[in-house]
Every structure is written in structure tokens, then in C-alpha cells.
Amino acid sequence: MPELKDEAVREWVDTELDREFPKPEQLLSGMALDVEFRDVTYQTLNEPGFAEVVKEAYPHVDLDKPFDEFQRRERP
């Protein structure tokens, strides 16, 4: 049995994988990224329940600061 060289083995494996798996271009065609920027306004911070919804959506992030600053400005 002839000895297989590393390069020949790599080429064979690459050929077999190319047959079985699609190319990245085939998987990614037609993808698009839409970005929308939204501001948090005085009215948004003032909405009932907004703070609770945000804190529930991001439980591991300390989001008290924006609401504390908002409340401090509200007080005379």
C-alpha cells in the first residue's frame, strides 16, 4: 500500500467537505441588516410600567440610573 502524504489527505478531505457543505456565499445571499435608532424621551421614561418592562428584559444590567436621574429632575 503506498504511503499517503499529508497534502493529498488534506485535498481529499477538502473535496469531500466541499461536496457536502454549501459555500458561505450560498448561505448568506440575500441577507440584510436593518438598523433603527430609538431615543428614550421624557415621555417614554414617564410611561407607567416602562421601567418594569425594561428591567425584566435586561435583568443582569443595572438600569436604575436613568430612572433615578429622571426622578431627581422631577422633584422641585
Identify the pLDDT of residue 17.
Answer: 92
Taken as a whole, the chain contains a residue count of 76
List the domain boundaries for the chain. Answer: 6-74
Residues 26-45: tens digit of each pLDDT: 887 777 888 888 787 878 87
**pLDDT tens per residue across all 76 residues of the chain:** 677 788 899 999 999 999 999 888 888 777 788 888 878 787 887 788 888 888 898 888 887 776 666 565 555 5
Identify the pLDDT of residue 11.
Answer: 93
**What is the pTM for the complete model shown?**
0.37
Identify the pLDDT of residue 13.
Answer: 93
Around Cβ 23, how many Cβ atoms within 10 Å?
A: 9
What are the phi and psi torsion angles at 49 (to 5°)?
90, -10
